Chains A and B, each alone.
Chain A
Amino acid sequence: MAVLIGPLSFCQLVYLSILTTILFSLTEASVINPPQKLTMNSQNFEHILSWEPGSNTTMPTYYDVMYIGLSGSENKWKIAKECSNTARLFCNLTKEYEECTYTYIAMVQSITGNRVLNSSILEFSPYRSTYLGPPAVNLTACPTCINVTVKLPATYLKESSLIDIYQKLDYTITVESFDRKEKIPIKNETSEESFSYVVGSLHSNTNYCVSVAVAASLNHHSIPSALKCIITRSNTQPGYGIIPILNGGLVSLVVGIFLLGLYKGGFICLKSKPWPKVLETTNKLHCSVHEPDPENVCSVQIMYKEMEKKEWEYSYDDSESESENSGDYTRRVILGRDPSCHAKSNTFVHQTIDCKSAESSSQATELLSSDTENSEEHQSVIRENERISRVFFHPSSEVNSSSTSELSNSACFNINLNTVMLGDPDKTWDDSATLISHQKDAVDLQDSSASDALESKNFTNTVDVKKPDCHNISHEWQNPSVSDESDASDSEYIRR
């Protein structure tokens, strides 16, 4: 019997256990829990209710969020508009919890098929329970301090800021050194949205990290700002870079100006400047005096201060002799007489011109032309007796410059005195007589520094010729405008 009972009971046991498990599984399937673990996450008056489903079921479940403002006038549950028949597991109740001082209660209703289940009630008072922060923090450094500028976060309530709600907020600034060794909490209060605080008595050139948290007297829930780090350094650091650069620039500018002044003044970087034209002749003078001058040529040196190629009008005293010409003339030309000269003519016109350089030759040409003109005028004037005479240097007179070919740098040229004509400007040139009508010899006016033989020959020739020529000339000068002075135009020497 016991054996029979044993196997029978064993079977029963198995059967029972199978049944119970089936039953349990069935009951489990049928048991649906209401939503659980209601939690409110609130930050700056933004309220988000979240929950967990009651049980995992294959059937879809929808949720309704209901709430009541306990301090309000309504007695009935209200459904949150945005969270009615939602499949999500969270609900934003910011708009529903609009009275910040009220205490609200919320409940989540789950609808599975046709089964409605209510969750437990969650009480929530925004004024006391919402998390405040984090505030916006800005840091500026000074040598031993940090200036902390804090801006309170905005609330999700309509037209209300944290100061509007709480009137006064307490804030805590935590300053800690980078290596977490120093920690300085600073507590203060504010009634402004934006405020600043200077943390002093810090070590310079040290890295500090700052965090700020705000809280109200009845609401100690706060979220601190993220750590912001700064090094306590002087703000004039960029200035430190600028000042030496400026100084260097100034110094270099001063030195540059000084050097420029020196350069302009010619103290440095002396260049060979082009000499003035006038001085070039003197330059040549120095160069030209190399060859000895064997010639004993009568010469009168006349130095011109100014040359004017224009009409002159003179009137002078008749009694003046030729020898006294120099003093009487108011002209700018100075007449000088070489004492060694034996010739009596006082109107020797000499001009020391260097024949070597081409430049001076051109100058010499100019001067010569003007000289000859003047000399002509000299003579004419001298001979004149209380008369105004005008003598022009006839442009048609030949100026033979062929002789210059012999001398490389010579500016000498020959004047064929036969072609030189003197005449009264009033009259036509036809009446004027040539200077040397019968004189066929040309007067070679050459550079003394030219070849000696040639030069001496020419000069001696001229000397020889001159004298008689002078006389001839004097005779020839029968112009009514020209006076009868004899010696004035004996010879013309233009010595260069």
Chain B
Amino acid sequence: MTTFCLLQISFVLLYITKISTQDCNILPLLHNKMIQGNLHLLNKMGQQFPEQCQSEKIHFKFPEQFLKLRQKENAKVEIQEILQLIFYIFTKNLTLAAWDGRSLERFQNGLNQQIEHLEACLTERMEKKQPYSRSEEIIRLKLKKYFQKIDNFLKDKQYSLCSWEIIRLEMRRCLQFIDKVIGRLRN
């Protein structure tokens, strides 16, 4: 009986893994949905942008060349990297942020799911990965610089409420950009 049960479970797991790997074909659609949910959560967790924080804000220049990535596989890799960086930011000291804890948690889980899914699909097709061209390398570097700037900003402001609100605002914009690139992947 136990062996039979084990067999059933293993079969089910096999099917699940097969199904989950097949998700890579509908990756763009799925990720659009995921980002949608994440963005909604990001909106929900805080209030309207506080007036007093307007003076503190700075301009984070998101590399818009990222939006023009042609290679689909490389774009997926870049998306995964961005999501990871965002996730990393939201693991920092959030005590002064005064956000809705539950929404924040769900936002973090959602990001994690997205990252894991992308990882699974990308490692499957690792052999199909194209070498980065010079322009693509530049985009990668710029993205890294962008997130470094955000990190520095938060540190300088000592993770104050205003700094977090400014960053939240910027992350919403960032997710919008990712959504745009994923939309292009669906073509």
Contact = CB atoms under 8 A, between A and B. Distances in A.
A201 interface: no
B173 A101 contact: yes
B187 interface: yes
Interface of A: 68, 70-75, 101-103, 105, 121, 123, 125, 127-128, 165-168, 189, 191, 216-218
Contacts of B175: 218
Interface residues of B, number: 29
Interface string B147-178: 00000000000000000001001101101110
Contacts, number: 69
B92 interface: no
A72 B184 CA distance: 25
Interface stretch (B1-9, B49-57, B81-89, B97-105): B49-57
B173 A102 contact: yes
B33 A121 contact: no
Contact of A75 (B57, B170, B180): B57
A75 B55 contact: yes
A329 to B, nearest CB: 111
**B33, B36, B183, B184, most chain A CB atoms within 10 A:** B183
Given A103-B172, A168-B184, A168-B186, A70 B177 contact: no
B49 A217 contact: no
A125 B172 contact: yes
A121 B48 CA distance: 9
Given A72-B59, A75-B54, A218-B39, 20 more contacts: A70-B54, A70-B57, A70-B169, A71-B59, A75-B57, A103-B169, A103-B173, A121-B48, A121-B49, A128-B39, A128-B176, A165-B180, A167-B184, A167-B186, A167-B187, A168-B186, A189-B186, A191-B187, A216-B183, A218-B36
Nearest to B181: A167
Nearest to B165: A70
A73 B60 CA distance: 8
Contacts of A216: 183
Contacts of B58: 73
Contacts of A123: 48-49
A217 B35 contact: yes
25 contacts: A70-B57, A70-B169, A71-B60, A71-B169, A71-B173, A73-B58, A73-B59, A75-B57, A101-B176, A121-B49, A123-B48, A125-B172, A127-B176, A128-B39, A128-B176, A165-B180, A167-B181, A167-B183, A167-B186, A168-B32, A168-B187, A191-B186, A217-B33, A217-B179, A218-B35
Nearest to B47: A123
Contacts of B184: 167-168
A71 B35 contact: no
Nearest to B54: A68
A218 B181 CA distance: 13
A121 B176 contact: no
B51 to A, nearest CB: 6
Contacts of A101: 173, 176-177
A105 B49 contact: yes
A101 B66 CA distance: 14
Contacts of B33: 217
Nearest to A105: B49
A217 B48 contact: no
Contacts of B54: 68, 70, 75, 105
Contacts of A127: 176
A166 B173 contact: no
A348 B33 CA distance: 130
A103 B175 CA distance: 13
A74 B51 CA distance: 14
